[in-house]
Chains A and B, each alone.
Chain A
Amino acid sequence: MENKKILVVDDEPDFTFLCKMILEDEGFAVDEYTDPLLAFSDFKPNIYDLLILDIKMPNMDGFEFHRKVKELDNTVKVCFLTASEKYYETFREKEYSSLGKDLFLHKPIENKELIKKINKILNAN
């Protein structure tokens, strides 16, 4: 899908690089960060259509990042992408449960699969 802008935050540089490549191949515009603090301080509202966030990160985890960003920008969608086992429970406990399982993706994920899920999220309403 064209003209959609995505923000990717993950402390693994290999992953942000990978994500950026995959998404740009599909025509998305992508900003990538490995430092959540920097990502937040650079954040401007109404630019991004979607956030792709890792959860386990130093200094600020994915949930907190999203919470803070939401205060600045209520319309941006979110998708969590994690390699850990334990965060699904926390995810369900927080408000996200009403938004559906699709927002919580597990690594490793196939490139095609990632695109599919992202499109689904962006098209949903």
Chain B
Amino acid sequence: MYGDSKSPSTIMQTEPIKKIFLECVNRGITYKYITEITKDNIPYCKEVLEIIKTGELRHLDGIKGNFALTEYEYLATATLYDAQPLQDVIYSNAKQIVKQNECLFETLWDKSMPAEQKIKEIEEGLESDVIEIIRNSSRAKKLYLNLVNNAKKEIMIIFPTVNAFIRQDKVGVIKSLKKVSRESNVMIRILMPIESFNQDELDAMSYGDFRQQKETIDSNCGNTICSENFGNIDIRNIDRMSEAKATILITDRNQSLVMELKDDTKDTFDEAIGLSTYSNSISGVLSYVAIFESLWIETKLYEQVRAHERMQNAFINIAAHELRTPAQAILGFSRLLKKHPELKDELVDGMYRNASRLQKLINNILDVTTIESQSLHLNKEKFDLNYVISNLVDEYRHQIKKTNSNIKLIYGNNNNAIFIESDKERIIQVISNLIDNAIKFTKDGGEISISCEVETENEHNKQVVVGVRDTGSGINSEIFPKLFSKFTTKSYQGTGLGLFISKNIVEEHDGKIWAKNHEGGQKGTTVAFSLPLKINIHPNNRKNPIENKVKT
């Protein structure tokens, strides 16, 4: 039997019908009954369930019309109105017609669900699990927008192609996404081939913000991960999918809509979309979530790997040059020594100079390795920073004189001792690095001033700030944001590791390091770092527990 939602009550309430029903059951007839179980007809369905001995009651959504089948006969009617006499019926005992409708019935039987399950769902207030195929693209579009606008917590979308994004933008999807993110604080994540957008496609985008996002992603692609935040909308790049073509939408991790892309060359959503599948069946939806999440992480990892590779290549290039150049000089000079004993002094000086350069480089590379493997250890000792800087400045003045350069080194400290407890070697390394950089980028006749001052924020916050100020050309705006990272250098010499190492040493001391280009008149840069000073414990403040006890 196949009956609409009114049929259970009709069977149970209409006496003659009920009587026949009971008789048949008692005769051993198998009843296969499909109806639409609703809140209203549950009591009648339960009655039916109690009665049916062999056979089963099942549920199907949206039943209209009724028919009944036996092995030989077929009877169909229109919707029964409570206890009203039947108006029109169709009857047949033609074998083919009965057989045909048997097939139809079996199809419906397979699609139906056990009555107990449906009753349970209704009573427990659970929504039924639905997986629906939507053939009408207009309906799919409505559902799409509906899902987006009603999302409460999170939305995940995969756009397979650039055109898909543009088409959906035209029907208002992006607008809805932004609205829902702004108004309901919904977290939105999008995977799409954003790197593949060309200029025309970009111009077609009606939202300046997305264009801006793309530009930010582009300019960051050199060094950082391709993921930008715009409000609550996170976009990451996936490569254009040439094989898989479907837009996947998941909302609140409990509903999914997958829209097949039938023809990517079409201009409108309706023409481009093929079949769509909607599901609110949790396990199904969660598998889409799993796919999305793994793609999401993968793109980040992939970009990290690419960035790392770029860095490695940059490093090899720079290191190769920096290692080979002094090696060449040492090899060449040492060979020349035999032939030209008269040039001994010059050659030996040259060898020493280049060997020092190599030594510095080796130390830098090893320092970087140490820092990266988290094994940077500080040997702290108490020393007078002012004294150390004074000595260092004298040494540099000496060196500068030797090279016949005209750069002036100024250290303006009025001989006040400043005691700090830190790793003396490493602090000297940092200050040397800053002075080296200043010298490198300050022309002849320029000035470098070093300062060292104690700053007191409050009783508990004292720090010493060491600054190196030059009158050079200023730090190039291109490298400024990555100043303290590896391989950042605008000079033709050096590996660009100095500031990276300095930053790590300073931060290991719980200090800070920063750089600033001078504004206004005098060009140049100041690079400075701060180190926290330990608070001296005043003897009167020291709490002595025993003393206190005695006092009370």
Contact = CB atoms under 8 A, between A and B. Distances in A.
Contacts of A83: 320-321, 324-325, 328
Nearest to B339: A25
B534 interface: no
Interface stretch (B97-105, B110-118, B330-338): B330-338
B151 to A, nearest CB: 50
A106 B492 CA distance: 18
B331 A108 contact: yes
A107 B324 contact: yes
B336 A111 contact: yes
B331 A86 contact: no
A73 B419 CA distance: 65
Interface stretch (A11-19, A45-53, A64-72, A94-102): A11-19
Contact of B336 (A12, A18, A109): A18
Contact of A84 (B317, B328, B329, B332): B317
Contacts of A108: 324, 327-328, 331-332
Contact of B320 (A11, A21, A84, A109): A84
Contact of A11 (B333, B335, B492): B492
Contacts of B331: 108, 110-111
B147 to A, nearest CB: 51
A15 B321 contact: no
Contact of A14 (B320, B340, B350): B350
Contact of A15 (B320, B328, B336): B328
A17 B346 CA distance: 11
B266 interface: no
Q: Which size class do A's interface residues fall under?
A: 20 to 34
Contact of A18 (B320, B321, B333, B339): B333
Interface string A11-55: 110110110011001000000000000000000000000000000
Nearest to B331: A108
Given A56-B492, A83-B324, A84-B321, A12 B329 contact: yes
A11 B267 CA distance: 58
A85 interface: yes
B321 A56 contact: yes
Contacts of B333: 14, 18
B328 A21 contact: no
Contacts of A106: 324
B298 to A, nearest CB: 30
Given A14-B354, A21-B340, A111-B335, A85 B325 contact: no
Interface string B291-322: 00000000000000000000000001100110
B182 interface: no
Interface string B342-386: 010000001001100000000000000000000000000000000
Nearest to A11: B492
Nearest to B327: A108
A57 interface: yes
B325 A21 contact: no
A84 to B, nearest CB: 5
A38 B266 CA distance: 61
Given A84-B321, A107-B324, A108-B327, A22 B332 contact: yes
Contacts of B353: 14
A7 to B, nearest CB: 18
Contacts of A12: 325, 329
A70 to B, nearest CB: 24
Nearest to B322: A83
Nearest to B351: A14
A107 B325 contact: yes
B332 A57 contact: no
A22 B336 CA distance: 8
A2 to B, nearest CB: 18
A113 to B, nearest CB: 10
A109 B328 contact: yes
Interface in B447-469: none
A11 B353 CA distance: 16
A82 B353 CA distance: 20
A108 B369 CA distance: 25
A108 B322 CA distance: 11
B492 A85 contact: no
Nearest to A106: B324
Question: Most chain-A CB neighbours within 10 Å: which of B320, B327, B339, B343?
Answer: B320
Interface string A103-123: 000111111000000000000
Nearest to A109: B328
A84 B322 CA distance: 9
Contact of B329 (A14, A56, A58, A110): A14
A58 B331 CA distance: 25
Contacts of A14: 329, 333, 350, 353-354
Nearest to A21: B336
Interface string A66-93: 0000000000000000011110000000
A116 B325 CA distance: 21
B492 A57 contact: yes
Contacts of A57: 492
A85 B317 contact: yes
A107 B328 contact: yes
Given A15-B325, A83-B320, A85-B316, 19 more contacts: A11-B492, A12-B329, A15-B328, A18-B329, A18-B332, A18-B333, A21-B340, A22-B332, A22-B336, A25-B339, A56-B321, A56-B492, A57-B492, A83-B325, A83-B328, A86-B317, A106-B324, A107-B328, A111-B335
12 contacts: A11-B492, A12-B325, A12-B329, A57-B492, A84-B317, A85-B316, A86-B317, A108-B324, A108-B328, A108-B332, A110-B335, A111-B335
Interface of B: 316-317, 320-321, 324-325, 327-329, 331-333, 335-336, 339-340, 343, 350, 353-354, 492
